[in-house]
């Protein structure tokens, strides 16, 4: 058994239920498996595979199956039980869960000593119409297939117009992958970007916007800042200028909407990751992931990096809370950097300090190195520094 400071296990075999198999859930599961290999762990998730969603834009280059890992295979690797089910977690029911120490999953009573909720965020709503795709579509079908099928419906000899809506990290990464995909397939096309703000990637240093905007000009990608998306109809996209309120339309054979994440059910937690209801922590119910907010100096950003760090922390705290000492670790993690991919050979990001903006191949190398850490974690090799 690996050594975890301040964890002195009792004789009882620990039962842990993890609701959600995203980045936070898998990070927590690997920690539990490492430090308490005899623990009885149950993972509940509505999907059959863990999806590496931060790599989703790469499905224009690789099969979608390369970004999926079967929960059945992971269960064999880390010795846990997997139940495929949707397990909605309502705040009002958590106090009862704390008292009862069991959940009903697919009409089965599943007992636990600790419950870990690892909810992700949904995507913002949009009207589902022909000629419009969203991130949800790319979770089930590869980008290359989606774009090929959508654009072959048009006249192959005419120029195709593709519009990407959303200048956040996801929209930008998809935009540059689409540009390279259209070039590889020699599809006559015009590509544009619609963004509701003045600056791209506004949550990052100004250098991000400056670099990306220069790359847009280099690649002849149209950019419409301060512009709201209204709808898509009959190969046209309907827009509105944010400042003048003027409405206008542009030709668009295909529009892709990346409107950001939506935190529908935000769970408050103390600095140890325990869910807080009515100002009182629930000692045996922890939370991690995009829909968790820790009352701590640690980062609450909606990133895979924060999700993984929260997942690892709460797993350690579950073990420590179950031990004789009950000494828990506060969440102090700060973002170490962030890199946005601009296709297969370019990127922009910051490292160590937000004032330290890097671009090009060095930035891309850092992104690939960081993402490979999680790939190794799923193989049972933990290279993260606590």
When divided into structural domains, the chain yields a total of 2
Q: What is the pLDDT along the chain (386 residues), one digit of tens a residue?
A: 578 988 888 878 999 999 999 999 999 999 999 999 999 999 999 999 999 999 999 999 999 999 999 999 999 999 999 999 988 878 788 999 999 999 999 999 999 999 999 987 665 556 678 889 999 999 999 999 999 988 876 555 678 899 999 999 999 999 999 999 999 999 889 999 999 999 999 999 999 999 999 999 999 999 999 999 999 998 999 999 999 999 999 999 999 999 877 667 889 999 999 999 999 999 999 999 999 999 999 999 989 999 999 999 999 999 999 998 889 999 999 988 999 999 999 999 999 888 899 999 999 999 999 889 999 999 999 998 76
Does any domain span residue 162?
Answer: yes
Helix pair 361-378, 304-322: axis angle to 10 deg: 30
Backbone angles phi, psi at 16, to 5 degrees: -130, 135
Would strands 292-294 and 267-269 be described as parallel, antiparallel, or unpaired?
Answer: parallel
**What single string gives the DSSP state of each residue in 61-90?**
TS-GGGGEEEHHHHHHHHT-EEEE------
Does any domain span residue 304?
Answer: yes
Q: How many residues does the chain have?
A: 386
55 contacts 371 by C-beta, under 8 angstroms? yes
DSSP type of residue 136: H
Does any domain span residue 358?
Answer: no
**Which of these three, 260, 276, 304, is where a domain ends?**
260
- Quote the pLDDT of residue 263: 64
| In a shared domain, residues 136 and 109 | no
- Quote the pLDDT of residue 162: 96
Residue carrying the six token digits 């670790």: 329
Does any domain span residue 271?
Answer: yes
Q: Is the dihedral of CA 352, 172, 140, 108 positive or negative?
A: positive
**What single string gives the DSSP state of each residue in 206-221?**
HHHHHHHHHHHHHTT-
| In a shared domain, residues 229 and 171 | yes
pTM: 0.93
Does any domain span residue 372?
Answer: no
| In a shared domain, residues 114 and 133 | no
- Quote the pLDDT of residue 150: 86
| In a shared domain, residues 129 and 254 | yes
| In a shared domain, residues 207 and 269 | no
| In a shared domain, residues 42 and 144 | no
User: Going edge to edge, which strands form the sheet with 132-134?
Assistant: 132-134, 254-257, 160-165, 189-194, 222-224
Question: Distance (Å, rounded) from C-alpha 191 to C-alpha 202?
Answer: 21
185 contacts 148 by C-beta, under 8 angstroms? yes
- Quote the pLDDT of residue 123: 57
Half-sphere exposure of 258 (CA within 13 A, CB side): 21
CATH number of the domain within which 230 lies: 3.50.50.60
| In a shared domain, residues 130 and 238 | yes
- Quote the pLDDT of residue 2: 75
- Quote the pLDDT of residue 1: 58
Q: Name the burial class of residue 191, with classes exposed (0-12), middle (13-18) and buried (19+) by CB atoms within 10 angstroms of its CB.
A: buried
Question: Distance (Å, rounded) from C-alpha 374 to C-alpha 384?
Answer: 9
Domain that holds residue 113: 15-121+263-333
Q: Centre a 10 Å sphere on the Cβ of residue 323 and count the other Cβ atoms it contains.
A: 17
- Quote the pLDDT of residue 359: 95
| In a shared domain, residues 247 and 317 | no
What residues contact 281, with CB distance under 8 A and at least 6 apart?
269, 270, 272, 274, 275
- Quote the pLDDT of residue 124: 59
């Amino acid at each position: 058994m690996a050594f975890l400071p301040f964890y002195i296990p009792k004789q009882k075999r620990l039962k842990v239920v993890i609701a959600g198999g995203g980045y936070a859930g898998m990070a927590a599961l690997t920690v539990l498996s490492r430090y308490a290999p005899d623990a009885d762990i149950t993972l509940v998730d509505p999907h059959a595979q863990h999806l590496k969603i931060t790599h989703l834009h790469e499905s224009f280059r690789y099969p979608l199956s390369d970004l999926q890992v079967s929960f059945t295979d992971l269960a064999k690797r880390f010795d846990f039980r997997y139940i495929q089910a949707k397990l909605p977690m309502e705040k009002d029911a958590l106090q009862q869960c704390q008292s009862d120490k069991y959940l009903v999953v697919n009409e089965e009573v599943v007992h636990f000593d600790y419950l870990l909720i690892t909810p992700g965020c949904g995507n913002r709503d949009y009207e589902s119409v022909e000629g419009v795709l969203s991130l949800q579509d790319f979770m089930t079908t590869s980008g290359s297939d989606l774009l090929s099928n959508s654009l072959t419906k048009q006249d192959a000899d005419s120029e195709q117009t593709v519009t990407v809506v959303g200048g956040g990290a996801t929209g930008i990464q998809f935009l540059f992958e689409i540009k390279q995909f259209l070039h590889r397939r020699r599809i006559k096309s015009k590509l544009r970007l619609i963004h509701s703000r003045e600056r791209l990637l506004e949550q990052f240093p100004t250098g991000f916007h400056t670099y990306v905007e220069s790359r847009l000009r280099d690649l002849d990608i149209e950019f419409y800042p301060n512009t709201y998306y209204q709808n898509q109809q009959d190969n046209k996209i309907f827009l509105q200028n944010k400042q003048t309120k003027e409405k206008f339309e542009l030709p668009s054979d295909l529009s892709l909407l990346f409107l950001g994440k939506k935190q529908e059910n935000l769970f408050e937690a103390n600095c140890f990751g325990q869910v807080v209801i009515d100002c009182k922590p629930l000692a045996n119910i922890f939370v991690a992931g995009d829909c968790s907010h820790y009352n701590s100096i640690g980062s609450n950003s909606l990133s895979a990096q924060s999700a993984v760090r929260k997942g690892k922390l709460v797993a350690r705290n579950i073990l420590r809370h179950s031990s004789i000492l009950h000494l828990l670790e506060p969440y102090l993690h700060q973002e170490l950097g962030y890199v946005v991919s601009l296709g297969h050979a370019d990127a922009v990001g910051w490292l160590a300090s937000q004032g330290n903006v890097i671009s090009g191949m060095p930035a891309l190398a850092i992104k690939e190195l960081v993402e490979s850490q999680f790939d190794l974690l799923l193989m049972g090799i933990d290279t993260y520094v606590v």
